[in-house]
Structure 1
Amino acid sequence: FKSLLCFVPLPVFILFLLPFPYAHQSGLLQKLLQEDSTYDYDLIVIGGGSGGLACAQEAAILGKKVMVLDFVVPSPQGTSWGLGGTCVNVGCVPKKLMHQAALLGQALNDSRKFGWEYVKHNWETMTEAIQNHISSLNWGHRLSLREKSVDYVNSYGEFVEHHRIKATNRKGQETSYTAAKFVIATGERPRYLGIQGDKEYCITSDDLFSLPYCPGKTLVVGASYVALECAGVLTGLGLDVTVMVRSVLLRGFDQEMAERVGSYMEQHGVKFLRKFIPVMVKQLEKGSPGKLKVVAKSTEGPETIEGVYNTVLLAIGRDSCTRKMGLDKIGVKINKKTGKIPVNDVEQTNVPYVYAVGDILEGKLELTPVAIQAGKLLARRLFGGCLEKCDYINVPTTVFTPLEYGCCGLSEEKAIEVYKKENLEVYHTFFWPLEWTVAGRDNNTCYAKIICNKFDNYRVIGFHVLGPNAGEVTQGFAAAMKCGLTKQLLDDTIGIHPTCGEVFTTLEITKSSGLDITQKGC
């Protein structure tokens, strides 16, 4: 009976039970009516990021009593922030705004060809404006929770027994709460190297976007999208930037596209130290910024190198915030190596009343819109009689490097692994944005590629674009892929001229043909 309540509204279910005396005599009906009322809340969400807030607000809209617990443990450099999670405070939002600042710098360079004169960048003005915007978003989230009667508690949540958590605030004061159901949405935080001087002297993306001073000459350690985006921003703002790469760029992404991203960045001022990892960071001078000496060793031999930088930014990955919240006390399983939580196809953990959404899920995409969608649908299934599950297939994303990279579906490597090379056709071309022509920017740099399954009506299973506004371009094509986009449908679509996106309506050259794809004009 109880499992049916996930899908059937309670009043309807009660009417179903009324003709059966057993339900009343055994106390089952009374238990169903009173069970959840024995707890303080119908739902407690642990984590005030995008996924957690979406789930909490949707549950409240459906008439449930909901609490959100959110507590930001300060970074080793002391950085903390308000409600809204990584995306709002130290991720997508400030990253995209700083990326825009860098793009404006490039546009200023371009503008001289169009008759404009150059101006100077001020780091403090930029960060102040960005942080003001983030503060408004923090306030907006708090206001939204209040309007929906969701209780917001700025405390650290830790399970102490089944259905009960302990909430500890900044002053160390503890309060206990119970709930019928819990959603874990605690997200991830940047990983450290575990070497001498890393936590003492290095910063991460947690610190960069509110850094009160210009970081100066910077070493970025890592080759993740966070690493390359940060390196691109700093270079675009006129700083001396080096990226130290242990192995490949953008692991998990299409490697042809990743190398093209790296090549563009290298041609436009970013220095790459490949096959090296730091082994020590030592402070030479204090200051804002100071001076740091970095010792690194080769991953392929005994060679060591040294360098002096003002700032060292670590972007080597992120760890799930699941290990210090008492999950072991209630039996929730986590991946011991990664801290990620395995869930079934309805985001349920091995403990039936505990669910999870967002970056902490094992084997799922770490993207804000994914967490939001999963959180909303989870609340609707739990409390609204909805059956719809989150679709983790063909989710579009964009890497906001100086030349943006947008993609949806499979990388070429993954497509070959799944479908075999002989069953695929890859169409590709370079293109030259009209905006770049007068400015004299690189021809044969922007690149478009689709991967088609020959034996499924040439359905597009991988979409990749490297160029300006790649995110805007990718978003529309992602919707088309949801609808079963094929090569013929692209060919039948009339493009908007002159745009970057129109290139996908005129693709003719296949990789297998070996024909030249370089462009001679716009």
Structure 2
Amino acid sequence: MAYDFDLFVIGGGSGGVRCARIAAGHGARVGVAEERFWGGTCVNVGCVPKKLMVNAAEYAGWAEEAAGFGWDMEVRGFDLAKLAAARDAEVARLSGIYGRLLANAGVTSFDARASFIDAHTLDVGGRRVTAEKIVIAVGGRAVRPELPGAELGMLSDDVFTLKTLPKRLIVVGGGYIALEFACVFQALGSQVELVYRADMPLRGFDQDIRVALKAALDAQGIHQHVGHHPARLDRQGDHLRLSLLGGGAVEGDAVLFATGREPNTQGLHLDAAGVACTAGGAIEVDEDHRTTAPNIWAIGDVTDKLNLTPMATAVGHALADTLFGKTPRRASYLNVPTAVFTSPPIGTVGLTEADAAACGPVDIYLASFTPMRHTLSQRQGRKTLMKLIVCQETRKVLGAHMLGEDAAEIMQGIGIAVAAGLTKEDFDRTIGIHPTAAEEFVTMRTRTREAGLRAAAE
């Protein structure tokens, strides 16, 4: 049968656009549908506008520290509406680029919602479209918690609609989205109340990083309410009251729920195409990202494998090469470097100490210090922590973790070394760039401790 397209991509985010563009470059007839905005969550209500707000927030700290370096500066206030206008203009510019990239590649774009009629047929904004192969790249969406009054609070998307700064902001959640916005709004001038269920922030990250971040949050003046579950949210006059299970409450002018995201599969009619989902609601895929329907693939956050924009982009590119480029390949999910743009920021790649120690004996190298940027200022709590996890048997560096200024920039280079399987001796013989914080990664010579011996003995 003759199909309208060789490939149709549902979703115009980073992964979907890359897959569509590369496939078209290989000669495929490609269509792509996006119902909300080109560039997806990352460009429009995710990493890009968030990072612009992180950048804005950093100026407050720099201004505070300037006196220690001889500057006489006066901070007269912060205008969120002015930042929002500039941020939104930049987001619109970037979103437009995605549309032009597709057009220049010869991809047919639809500003419409797509859903399945059968495994080869889609309803695209009321138009019937057929495709030999289909890729689902619809991403994820923020989830509102199920508690009374939750509709009174914001989700992460709503942050980018704010035009005035809340004086008191309650942030619910201990993951990276909650922590990043907590740091941003505290620096911009809000008093942030952070509520999360665990005893430490950032579940799943290395424990030393978690401990260091908790101390850094305290130093910024963020009030942490640890080990608490929200029970209900009520409006009382001109403010909101978040009641906690077991008693107690936190009051504020606004509440941000950052308690999780879920695959954005609603309304796709996956059952009509024979596409199955996991128990958690993610689209089920094999190692090649093929779904339970043999002509349909899924990539990115909708698979809930590793929810990072660069990962979705890499998978989309690899899939296009595999399907149409005659060069079958997979994007590796191992040793993917990532960052958390808290204050200070975090960069990490490879295994945590707990994960590495479960596999056998490892050596831990740890350094904590005040970086030069903060040595002459009166600003408190700006410590840097760096950590290497080394396999005792092979001497390979299994993990690298950092909390401190420029952690994300530094970790990109360290990520290459860990992905390449370099050893601690490779790090040791690399000459450091002095004076920098980054040189600490290649000058840590004294082992702090060893871990995982019990696992090795067993």
Output the TM-score relative to the length of structure 1. 0.83
Kept in 2, the 8 Å contact 1:253–1:411? The answer is yes
Kept in 1, the 8 Å contact 2:220–2:381? The answer is no
Deviation (angstroms), 1:269: 0.9
Q: Could you say which residue in structure 1 is the equivalent of 2:392?
A: 454
Aligned: 1:426 with 2:364: yes
The amino acid of 1:116's aligned partner reads D
Deviation (angstroms), 1:251: 1.5
Q: Could you say which residue in structure 1 is the equivalent of 2:63?
A: 108
The amino acid of 2:287's aligned partner reads D
Deviation (angstroms), 1:83: 1.2
- The whole-number CA distance in structure 2 between the counterparts of 1:260 and 1:414 is 19
Kept in 2, the 8 Å contact 1:450–1:460? The answer is yes
Structure showing greater Rg = 1
Deviation (angstroms), 1:241: 0.2
The amino acid of 2:435's aligned partner reads P
SS at match of 1:351: coil
Do the aligned partners of residues 45 and 259 (structure 1) sit closer, same or farther apart at CA in structure 2, a change above 3 Å counting? Answer: same
The amino acid of 1:250's aligned partner reads L
The equivalences for 1:204-243 within 5 A come to 204-243=155-194
The equivalences for 1:407-446 within 5 A come to 407-417=348-358, 419-420=359-360, 423-442=361-380, 445-446=383-384
Q: Could you say which residue in structure 2 is the equivalent of 1:117?
A: 73
Q: Could you say which residue in structure 1 is the equivalent of 2:335?
A: 394
Deviation (angstroms), 1:323: 3.7
Aligned equivalent of 2:49, options 94, 109, 131 = 94
Q: Could you say which residue in structure 1 is the equivalent of 2:302?
A: 360
Kept in 2, the 8 Å contact 1:431–1:503? The answer is no
Q: Could you say which residue in structure 2 is the equivalent of 1:307?
A: 250
Kept in 2, the 8 Å contact 1:159–1:326? The answer is yes
Instruction: Return 5+ residue gaps in structure 1 as ranges.
Output: 1-34, 73-81, 169-173, 298-302, 515-522
- The whole-number CA distance in structure 1 between the counterparts of 2:386 and 2:131 is 50
Aligned equivalent of 1:65, options 22, 25, 29 = 29
The equivalences for 1:179-328 within 5 A come to 179-199=131-151, 201-247=152-198, 248-285=200-237, 291-297=239-245, 303-328=246-271
SS at match of 2:135: strand
SS at match of 1:360: helix
Aligned: 1:332 with 2:275: yes
Kept in 2, the 8 Å contact 1:323–1:339? The answer is no
- The whole-number CA distance in structure 1 between the counterparts of 2:319 and 2:450 is 47
- The whole-number CA distance in structure 2 between the counterparts of 1:350 and 1:132 is 41
The amino acid of 2:281's aligned partner reads G
The equivalences for 1:445-484 within 5 A come to 445-456=383-394, 458-484=395-421
| Deviation larger for 405-414 or 478-487 | 478-487
Deviation (angstroms), 1:57: 0.6
Aligned: 1:151 with 2:108: yes
Aligned: 1:53 with 2:23: no
Deviation (angstroms), 1:438: 1.3
- The whole-number CA distance in structure 2 between the counterparts of 1:461 and 1:236 is 34
Q: Deviations over 1:103-133 (max 9, x none)?
A: 1111011112221312221111111111110
Equivalent residues, number: 448
SS at match of 2:248: strand
Do the aligned partners of residues 240 and 388 (structure 1) sit closer, same or farther apart at CA in structure 2, a change above 3 Å counting? Answer: same
Kept in 2, the 8 Å contact 1:184–1:355? The answer is yes
SS at match of 1:304: coil
- The whole-number CA distance in structure 2 between the counterparts of 1:62 and 1:406 is 35
Instruction: Return 5+ residue gaps in structure 2 as ranges.
Output: 452-458
SS at match of 2:440: helix
- The whole-number CA distance in structure 2 between the counterparts of 1:196 and 1:359 is 28
**Cα root mean square deviation, aligned:** 1.6
The amino acid of 1:294's aligned partner reads L
Deviation (angstroms), 1:502: 0.2
Aligned: 1:175 with 2:116: no
- The whole-number CA distance in structure 1 between the counterparts of 2:302 and 2:214 is 28
Q: Could you say which residue in structure 2 is the equivalent of 1:162?
A: 119
Kept in 2, the 8 Å contact 1:48–1:69? The answer is yes
- The whole-number CA distance in structure 1 between the counterparts of 2:231 and 2:113 is 33
Q: Could you say which residue in structure 2 is the equivalent of 1:517?
A: none
Percent same amino acid among aligned pairs? 35
Q: Could you say which residue in structure 2 is the equivalent of 1:130?
A: 87
- The whole-number CA distance in structure 2 between the counterparts of 1:154 and 1:279 is 40
The equivalences for 1:362-377 within 5 A come to 362=304, 364-377=305-318
Deviation (angstroms), 1:513: 7.5
- The whole-number CA distance in structure 2 between the counterparts of 1:441 and 1:304 is 35
- The whole-number CA distance in structure 2 between the counterparts of 1:189 and 1:453 is 38
The amino acid of 1:502's aligned partner reads E
Deviation (angstroms), 1:432: 2.3
- The whole-number CA distance in structure 2 between the counterparts of 1:439 and 1:97 is 25
The amino acid of 1:142's aligned partner reads G
Deviation (angstroms), 1:150: 1.2
Q: Could you say which residue in structure 1 is the equivalent of 2:449?
A: 512
The amino acid of 2:222's aligned partner reads V
Deviation (angstroms), 1:192: 1.1
Q: Could you say which residue in structure 1 is the equivalent of 2:454?
A: none
Deviation (angstroms), 1:283: 2.2
- The whole-number CA distance in structure 2 between the counterparts of 1:259 and 1:231 is 17
- The whole-number CA distance in structure 1 between the counterparts of 2:208 and 2:441 is 18
Do the aligned partners of residues 221 and 394 (structure 1) sit closer, same or farther apart at CA in structure 2, a change above 3 Å counting? Answer: same
Aligned: 1:500 with 2:437: yes
Kept in 1, the 8 Å contact 2:216–2:381? The answer is no
